[in-house]
Amino acid sequence: MADLLVWQGDITTLSVDAIVNAANHTLLGGGGVDGAIHKAAGPQLLSACRRLNGCQTGEAKITPGYQLPAKWVIHTVGPIWQGGDQHEPQSLADCYRHSLMQAEDVGARTIAFPGISTGVYGFPKQQAAEIAVATVRHTLEAQALPEKVYFVCFSDSDTEIYQRLLRMN
């Protein structure tokens, strides 16, 4: 079973094999984590993303990391929170599952996830973290890679949520 860890800071500075980008449907950059990743990776990332022709909610696509310490960027589009009865939990779980599958396909031993959909998309942070941890654990029961998963948090409160969840098991 993979090591699940919490790390607080800027995901663009982590030296891991793959980082996950909480992207929008166009994959052409935006605000928050998406904008920070595009800025840190350099203009080649935008060119690579243009060739991917967007991404649907719950799916994941991969590009090189270019100027990032990470070799790969896995772009996934999380659901916009609409109260929870529009399949948002299932779509969010799909983001984690498909990202882990992409990581395994390229042999990534380490991966870092931001809080997908918890920014402007409005997914409740506690529920999103529960889905993230449960989905990663379940998915990695059937996969050899990645071996180490980081849940990257920006705030103290987000970090506490993940630390509490990881201590539970």
Q: Is 34 a catalytic residue?
A: yes
CB 33 within 8 A of CB 22: yes
Q: Is 55 helix (H, G, I), strand (E, B) or coil?
A: coil
Side-chain-facing half-sphere of 49: CA atoms under 13 Å: 29
For residue 48, CA distances in Å to 13, 42, 61, 127 come to 20, 11, 11, 32
The catalytic residue among 3, 17, 34, 94 is: 34
C-beta atoms surrounding 130 within 10 Å: 16
C-beta atoms surrounding 84 within 10 Å: 12
User: Active-site residue numbers?
Assistant: 34
